[in-house]
Structure 1
Amino acid sequence: MACHTKCIAEKIKEEEMAIKGAHMMGPTVESKFDELKYEIINKIDKEVTDSQNAREFISQKYDELCLKIHYLTELDATVSGFRSDVKAIEQQITELSSRMDDIEKRTIYKECPSLASSTVV
């Protein structure tokens, strides 16, 4: 037990000597720690700034993409409207063409008896 206590006492003395040595070299060790602390803080600040810039860039690109999607949705609705208008016009043209054919047939039919009677005389 006495040996154990003696070993502990020696370790405590060694630690005290190391602390005293650090205090004797104090300004240089402390300045090194301050430099290291400064570098770490600057690196963290740089990473935070880079992360914020990346977040803003992504947010901006997301907003631009949303605007493009909105524009394309409106364009799709416009094109769909045009298609339905073209189909309606096509149907109207088909109906008008059919009416014109009927009118032409009636006209030709009415003219045929007169042609027939004029050729007979």
Structure 2
Amino acid sequence: MSESSSGEARRVRIVCSLLPPAGTRLEGPVHVRLTVEDVSLLDSASTTVSEIDVIARTRDDLRKPFEIVAGLRAGRRYAIRGHVDRSGDGQVATGDLVTTAQHAVAGDRAVASIELPMVEVRPAD
């Protein structure tokens, strides 16, 4: 499946493996949010292209691959970010796990595999 001459988006299946910090414990279910964003324009906010929100009940659930499908266009730059939301309110808070670096998504293939290192949000000093 490739991009047509009219510039239609190419459907890409992104398989993500989260890499939580060693010793991460889960108490109850958490929301895992993965967001694919168009980061082509450096001087403006990114645009969400695709997003999933799933429930993980154990640390092992966090280590299982998550899948997200996005329509990506040639000539654009895309990145994926993750948020393990312990409270489920959608806000980043102390104890949540987040990505802290940009993780590029290759839009030139039908399936992209990505490992997402996560860090725990610490209280502000």
TM over 0.5: no
Normalised by the length of structure 1, the TM-score is 0.16
Of structures 1 and 2, the one scoring higher in RCO (CA 8 A, sep 6+) is 2
**More strand per residue:** 2
**More helix per residue:** 1
